[in-house]
Amino acid sequence: MSILIDKNTRLVVQGITGHQGLFHAELMLEYGTKVVAGMTPGKGGEWVLDGKVPVFDTVARAVEATGANTSVIFVPARYAADSILEAADANVPLIVAITEGIPVQDMMLVRAYLDQKNVRLIGPNCPGLLTPGESKVGIIPGHIADAGPIGVVSRSGTLTYEVLYALKLKGLGASTCVGIGGDPVNGTSFIDVLKMFEADPYTEKVVMIGEIGGSDEEKAAEFIADHMTKPVVGFIAGQSAPPGKRMGHAGAIVEGGSGLASDKIEALRGAGVAVADHPEQVADLLA
Amino acid sequence: MKLQEYQSKQIFAEHGIAIPKGRVAGTAREAKTAAEELGGRVVIKSQVLVGGRGKAGGIRLVNSADEAEDAAAEILGMQIKGLPVRKVLVDEAADISTEIYLGVTNDRTHRRPVIMASAEGGVDIEEVARTDPEKIFKVHVDPLLGLREYQARYLATGIELPRDQWRDFISIATGLYEAYVDSDASLAEINPLVMTKKGSLLALDGKMVVDDNGLFRHPDLAEMRDIDAEAPAEREARKYGLSYVKLDGNIGCMVNGAGLAMATMDVIHLFGGSPANFLDIGGGAGPDKVEAALKIILSDPRVDTVLLNIFGGITRCDDVARGILAAIDEIERKVPMVTRLVGTNEVEGRKLLSDADMLTASSLAEAAQKAVDVAKEIKVK
């Protein structure tokens, strides 16, 4: 059991003929993900990855021909908003945008449109999803996580790998790992994912990895206090970050006294979350 | 990317917002000529990308072209919060009756733009937000619909603007919203928007912050970047697509991924050390990028040691190792290094570095502890 993706996930890769798209399509295929289609405008009719994956000109055609139910987006930032909207209009229920650097105003438009449709966007600027042993959608290295009862949700990429790997070294496995992305405006929040983990019978405990900027962690803390029965362990990155400076991720910035790591940690501890002092300690707190 | 006041106001003017007549001057002589053209009674405003210019003496009202020349000469020699003043804006002085605040920005929480107005203009709006939040009127804008007239009217009534000013105000609010959208801005702000004694509305000051990720659509705005205002190391980092923020400590950090880079800094802090920088080499960085990154870190004379923390995914540990070796060969300055390579091609990477004189670690905590210990030893010596 898992959330969002599993053995039945049928994936279309948008931007499959690009450098990143092709590289990761191959890794996903090797992992066992059912990569049923690729999509690149102008490349329809071709086959990639030793003839294993057909390429289509549009997402709608890919869905029609292959029954794809999930899309992953590797297209460059300037075309990414369009790609997300195309997948939404093709009624792909789960859209995972890996692309980093999409303009915020594009994402506000996309989000306003998606809110009217019955689709879920994960990301952008995220490592994607991994349900160990079943399916991987995105770029999380498959070998760093085993299957198990821990749900993981994170705003970060490599920091998530760090935590997954620490879990593995402790003999702990993950039900599903969800990277919601480091942008200020994204498709899925901590609360959305916490709800899913709370409802998933296989997930026993949850790890939540946040960072400075915005107030999603504080809101998640309220949700945890009011609605979560499963234990949550957290880590917040950026305790030593100076205010007013963007720390790599577009969303990681302390502005006007809000978005501070200390406020987030306090809110989470207040909600009964065990907050780790450093990422590897997350595994100890789960034991 | 922040725009200077004169650049922001120029964009506002292109969207139909009235601004004072003004000229940009780079010398006192030019300021004098500008003041003569504008009738003598002008305001000399330093163009630097920090707040609090007025308090620092960087804004002066003068009554003649000669006074303008003297004031400009003084202001052009100033440093405001560490930034040298290289340009002044010479604006025709306005007869102010009241000052209003008007701004548009991204509201992350609501995932849409918010437009705000306050009758308390000309002061720090964040201060107003803290002390008198009820004095700020906000309207969220559906990005698919844009700012509607009734929403701007709501702001006008909120700040109790006289009725005969509504039409002007709505047109300014609409222009400001359009300027924000058309420039891919994350902030477009008029503070103050003044009502003159003649009863017209004028944008006396202007501030815009443009989303760096949107600059590909705006080559004209990208050219406005004030390269002089950037630290040389940050400029160099941007050239290589590295994300670098200089801090005050002595432990240089090189990490792949923003979240992990922040966490690495945090762990250094936790163990009693102090990071010299935030540096994310990004995903899939090749040897060239790694080499550039190490050079940037070592260009900071305060760096006593470097901690390299790589969790390979897209990034390959052997590529990183090759970059490090190339950089060490070229850079004269030698500092002790602690490396921790995990993930894709970690065995190859570690092997490449095994001949170089470096401390190694298998976990992040161990790496941070070693770096902190090394930095302390150096300080003792």
Whether the CB of A191 is below 8 Å from some CB of chain B: the reply is: no
Whether residues B35 and B121 share a domain: the answer is: no
A105 found inside a domain: yes
Whether residues A168 and A261 share a domain: the answer is: yes
Q: Give the confidence band of B271 by pLDDT, cuts at 50, 70, 90.
A: very high
Whether residues B196 and B107 share a domain: the answer is: yes
Are residues B242 and B293 in contact, defined by beta-carbon separation less than 8 angstroms?
Answer: yes
- What's the pLDDT score for residue B334? 84
Whether residues B364 and B237 share a domain: the answer is: yes
Residue A256 has pLDDT above 80, yes or no: no
Q: What are phi and psi of B9, to 5 degrees?
A: -65, -35
- What's the pLDDT score for residue A225? 97
Whether residues B245 and B358 share a domain: the answer is: yes
Please answer yes or no on whether B343 and A278 come within 8 Å at the CB atom. no
Whether the CB of A30 is below 8 Å from some CB of chain B: the reply is: no
Mean of the per-residue pLDDT values for chain B?
A: 92
- What's the pLDDT score for residue B329? 85
Report the 3 state secondary structure along B80-141: ECCEECCCEEEEECCCEEEEEEEEEEEECCCCEEEEEEECCCCCCHHHHHHHCHHHEEEEEC
What percentage of chain A carries pLDDT values higher than 70? Answer: 100
Whether the CB of B273 is below 8 Å from some CB of chain A: the reply is: no
A244 found inside a domain: yes
- List, as ranges, residues 290-319 from B with C-beta within 8 Å of A: 311-314
| Domain count of the fold of chain B | 3
- What's the pLDDT score for residue A244? 84
For residue A287, the SS3 value is coil
Tens digits of per-residue pLDDT, B39-91?
999 999 999 988 889 889 999 999 999 999 999 999 998 998 888 899 999 99
How close B92 comes to chain A (CA, Å)? 32
| Rounded Cα–Cα distance for residues B117 and B158 (Å) | 8
Residue B10 has pLDDT above 90, yes or no: yes
| Domain count of the fold of chain A | 2
How far CA A98 is from CA of B127, B284, B345, in Å, comes to 38, 14, 23
| Rounded Cα–Cα distance for residues B118 and B106 (Å) | 17
Whether the CB of B211 is below 8 Å from some CB of chain A: the reply is: yes
Beta strands in A116-272 (DSSP E): 120-122, 128-131, 135-138, 147-154, 174-179, 205-211, 232-237
> Last residue of a domain, which of B222, B239, B255?
B222
Q: Give the confidence band of B333 by pLDDT, cuts at 50, 70, 90.
A: confident
Option in B211, B243, B368 nearest A248 (CB): B243
Mean of the per-residue pLDDT values for chain A?
A: 95
Whether the CB of A144 is below 8 Å from some CB of chain B: the reply is: yes
For residue A275, the SS3 value is strand
Q: Give the confidence band of B199 by pLDDT, cuts at 50, 70, 90.
A: confident
- What's the pLDDT score for residue B344? 82
Whether the CB of A140 is below 8 Å from some CB of chain B: the reply is: yes
Whether the CB of A208 is below 8 Å from some CB of chain B: the reply is: no
Q: If we measure between CA atoms, which residue out of B27, B35, B77, B40 comes closest to residue B56?
A: B77
Please answer yes or no on whether B213 and A103 come within 8 Å at the CB atom. yes
Whether residues B128 and B169 share a domain: the answer is: yes
Tens digits of per-residue pLDDT, A24-68?
999 999 999 999 999 999 999 999 999 999 999 999 999 999 999
| Rounded Cα–Cα distance for residues B169 and B190 (Å) | 12
Q: Check which CATH number belongs to the domain holding A207 and give it.
A: 3.40.50.261
Whether the CB of A190 is below 8 Å from some CB of chain B: the reply is: no
Please answer yes or no on whether B343 and A111 come within 8 Å at the CB atom. no
Please report the number of interchain residue pairs, chain A to chain B, with beta-carbon separation below 8 angstroms: 170
Option in B129, B266, B313 nearest A158 (CB): B313
Option in A105, A256, A261 nearest B126 (CB): A256
Whether residues A276 and A145 share a domain: the answer is: yes
- List, as ranges, residues 38-67 from A with C-beta within 8 Å of B: none
Whether residues A105 and A14 share a domain: the answer is: yes
- Residues paired with residue A48 on neighbouring β-strands, in sequence order: A53
What percentage of chain B carries pLDDT values higher than 90? Answer: 73
**Long-range contacts, stretch B51-57, CB < 8 angstroms, 24+ apart:** B51/B124, B52/B80, B52/B81, B53/B80, B56/B80, B56/B81
Report the 3 state secondary structure along chain B: CEECHHHHHHHHHHCCCCCCCEEEECCHHHHHHHHHHCCCCEEEEECCCCCCCCCCCCEEEECCHHHHHHHHHHHHCCEECCEECCCEEEEECCCEEEEEEEEEEEECCCCEEEEEEECCCCCCHHHHHHHCHHHEEEEECCCCCCCCHHHHHHHHHHCCCCHHHHHHHHHHHHHHHHHHHHCCEEEEEEEEEEEECCCCEEECCCEEEECHHHHHHCHHHHCCCCHHHCCHHHHHHHHCCCEEEECCCCEEEEECCHHHHHHHHHHHHHCCCCECEEEECCCCCCHHHHHHHHHHHHCCCCCCEEEEEEEECCCCHHHHHHHHHHHHHHCCCCCCEEEEEEECCHHHHHHHHCCCCCEECCCHHHHHHHHHHHHHHHHHC
Whether residues A114 and A144 share a domain: the answer is: no
Whether residues B121 and B37 share a domain: the answer is: no
What percentage of chain B carries pLDDT values higher than 70? Answer: 99
- What's the pLDDT score for residue B233? 85
B253 found inside a domain: yes
Residue B380 has pLDDT above 80, yes or no: no
Q: Give the confidence band of A248 by pLDDT, cuts at 50, 70, 90.
A: confident
Are residues B91 and B20 in contact, defined by beta-carbon separation less than 8 angstroms?
Answer: yes
Whole domain around residue B375: which residue ranges? 230-380
Residue A257 has pLDDT above 80, yes or no: no
Q: If we measure between CA atoms, which residue out of A282, A156, A141 comes closest to residue A207?
A: A282
Whole domain around residue A280: which residue ranges? 140-286
Whether residues A279 and A150 share a domain: the answer is: yes
In this structure, of A8-12, A156-160, A198-202, A265-269, the range with the lowest mean pLDDT score is: A156-160
Check residue A259 and report its DSSP letter.
S
- What's the pLDDT score for residue B375? 93
A40 found inside a domain: yes
A61 found inside a domain: yes
* Chain B residues in contact with A161 (beta carbon < 8 A): 260, 311, 313, 343
> Last residue of a domain, which of B192, B222, B252?
B222
Q: Give the confidence band of B229 by pLDDT, cuts at 50, 70, 90.
A: low
Q: Give the confidence band of B12 by pLDDT, cuts at 50, 70, 90.
A: very high
Residue A224 has pLDDT above 90, yes or no: yes
Please answer yes or no on whether A252 and B269 come within 8 Å at the CB atom. no
Indicate whether this complex's ipTM tops 0.90. yes
How close B266 comes to chain A (CA, Å)? 5
For residue B257, the chain A residue with the least C-alpha distance is A158
Q: Give the confidence band of B119 by pLDDT, cuts at 50, 70, 90.
A: very high
Catalytic machinery residues of A: 249
For residue A250, the chain B residue with the least C-alpha distance is B213
Q: pTM, whole model, 2 decimals?
A: 0.94
Whether the CB of A108 is below 8 Å from some CB of chain B: the reply is: yes
Count of beta carbons in the 10 Å neighbourhood of residue B327: 19
How close B96 comes to chain A (CA, Å)? 29
How far CA B380 is from CA of B215, B269, B273, B376, B377, in Å, comes to 47, 19, 14, 6, 5
Option in A252, A277, A281 nearest B262 (CB): A252
Whether residues B193 and B314 share a domain: the answer is: no
Given the structure tokens 């908003």, which residue do they identify?
A: A81
- What's the pLDDT score for residue A1? 67
> Last residue of a domain, which of B92, B116, B150?
B92
Residue A255 has pLDDT above 90, yes or no: no
B197 found inside a domain: yes
Option in A214, A248, A280 nearest B280 (CB): A248
Whether residues B86 and B208 share a domain: the answer is: no
- Residues paired with residue B43 on neighbouring β-strands, in sequence order: B61, B91
Average pLDDT over residues A177-181: 97
